Amino acid sequence: MKMTLSIAAIINLAVAVVHTFVGEATIVAPLTASDAPDLVKATLHSAWHMISVVLYLSSLTLFYVSRKEVTDPAVTLLPGYIGIQYVGLAMVFVVTSAIYGQFFPQIVMLLPIGLLSLWAARMAAKA
């Protein structure tokens, strides 16, 4: 269970770094350089980095919980919440992929974090 949480945390941290730096350069920068109104650009930029915050905080939470004893209620509660959240986020990209007919790689990054977190929460609940 601790190894599962550590793996989820490492994947999550990698996703956070890619999102923050590669996503900023390849997705956000061109959109903020567009002719869109300033309010739209500022909202996009803020929303993008709100997700960055979620990614980093989730990584830290998974690392933190991976160090706790299995009997600590946080070991079931926090990974369970993160798991549900990440599966939900992945489903947003599944629907978006279906609507736009284009595959979004975020599915491949978010879904494993969610599933590993849920699996770890389930293992902790059984312990």
Q: What is the mean pLDDT of residues 51-68?
A: 96
The rounded distance, in Å, linking the Cα atoms of 124 and 47 is 33
The rounded distance, in Å, linking the Cα atoms of 21 and 6 is 23
pLDDT band at 1 (very low <50, low <70, confident <90, very high): confident
| Number of Cβ within a 10 Å radius of residue 41 | 16
pLDDT at 93: 96
DSSP string of the chain, one letter each residue: -HHHHHHHHHHHHHHHHIIIIIIIIIIIHHHHTSSS-HHHHHHHHHHHHHHHHHHHHHHHHHHHHHTS-TTSTHHHHHHHHHHHHHHHHHHHHHHHHHHHT---THHHHHHHHHHHHHHHHHHHHH-
Count of structural domains, the chain: 1
Per-residue pLDDT tens digits for 72-90: 999 999 999 999 999 999 9
Per-residue pLDDT tens digits for 19-28: 999 999 999 9
Structural domain including 69 reads 2-126
What does pTM read for this prediction? 0.90
